[in-house]
Amino acid sequence: MTSSDWIAEAFPGWSPEELRALREMDTPAKIQCFLDSISYSTDPVYRSPRSVLRDRKAHCFDGALFAAAALRLLGHPPRIVDMKAVRDDDHLLAIYKRKGRFGALAKSNFVGLRFREPIYRNLRELVISYFDSYYNLDYDKTLRGYTVPLDLRAFDRIHWTSSDDQLDLIAEKLDQIPSFELLDEEMVQELAPVDERTYNAGMLGSNPDGIYREKPK
How do the pLDDT tens digits run along the chain, 217 residues long? 566 789 999 999 999 999 999 999 999 999 999 999 999 999 999 999 999 999 999 999 999 999 999 999 999 999 999 999 999 999 999 999 999 999 999 999 999 999 999 999 999 999 999 999 999 999 999 999 999 999 999 999 999 999 999 999 999 999 999 999 999 999 999 999 999 999 999 999 999 999 999 877 6
Considering the domain boundaries, does residue 212 fall inside one? no
Domain assignment of residue 96, yes or no: yes
- Indicate whether 17 belongs to any domain: yes
The pTM of this model reads: 0.96
Q: Is residue 35 in some structural domain?
A: yes
Residue 8 is assigned to a structural domain of this protein: yes
As beta bridge partners, residue 120 has: 102
- Find the domain containing 62 and state its range: 3-207
Tell me whether residue 216 is in a domain. no
Is 214 among the domain residues?
A: no
Rounded Cα–Cα distance for residues 90 and 127 (Å): 12
Terminal alpha carbon distance of the chain: 56
Which of 217, 141, 143, 212 has its CA nearest to residue 181? 143
Given a contact cutoff of 8 angstroms between Cβ atoms, the answer to whether 66 and 80 are in contact is no
Name the domain count of the chain. Answer: 1
215 falls within a domain: no
